[in-house]
Amino acid sequence: MSKVWKIAAGLLLALLPFLVTGCSGVRKIKDIQVKSVGVKYITPTSQRSAEGVLLLEIDNPAMGFTLSDVDGTIKLQNREMGTFTAGELPLQARSVQVYELPCTATLSESVSLLEVLTLISRRSLEGFTADIRLHAKLKNGMGKTLEFKDLDIEKLAK
């Protein structure tokens, strides 16, 4: 075996404990949980849109990363009620924290403001679901776009 290969093999053996530790952090990504969702505030910006801040309690047993390019659709009984977009959200490694996520929501054309006010007055999220698409980026720049379909908003908000 040449000298270069011996040096490479020696480096690999020396780095193996660090690589294994790093991989266990990657395996924990599947264990990330959104524990609760709340609303800090909502400010109407027009008759069909609003800006606000969501409160997300996230249990992240994995490494730190950043969520970006968040967008989605809110539905009631499979009827599209509106869409939303949100900015970047850096998540701390191995922590349970409440994060503030600024976002913008826009009503679908088939939904009236009066209908939304009626839904808000009933104070129930039963039947509401969300489809969400987001990009998760590690500190080293690697990332992946993730999609979630039909998330039950009532269960997340508890």
pLDDT score at 27 = 55
In the chain, where are the structural domains located? 1-30, 32-156
pLDDT in tens, 42-81: 898 998 899 999 888 889 898 888 989 999 999 999 899 9
pLDDT confidence bin for 31, thresholds 50/70/90: confident
pLDDT score at 107 = 93
Class of the domain covering 32-156: mainly beta
Answer for the pair 38, 52: CB distance below 8 angstroms, yes or no: no
pLDDT confidence bin for 82, thresholds 50/70/90: very high
Position with higher pLDDT, 42 vs 37: 42
Among 1-10, 87-96, 109-118, the minimum mean pLDDT is found in 1-10
The whole model's pTM is what?
Answer: 0.70
Percent of the chain with pLDDT over 90: 22
pLDDT score at 84 = 92
How many whole angstroms separate alpha carbon 155 and alpha carbon 125?
A: 9
| Burial class of residue 145 in the structure, from the number of CB atoms within 10 Å of its CB (0-12 exposed, 13-18 middle, 19+ buried) | exposed
**Mean pLDDT estimate for the chain:** 79
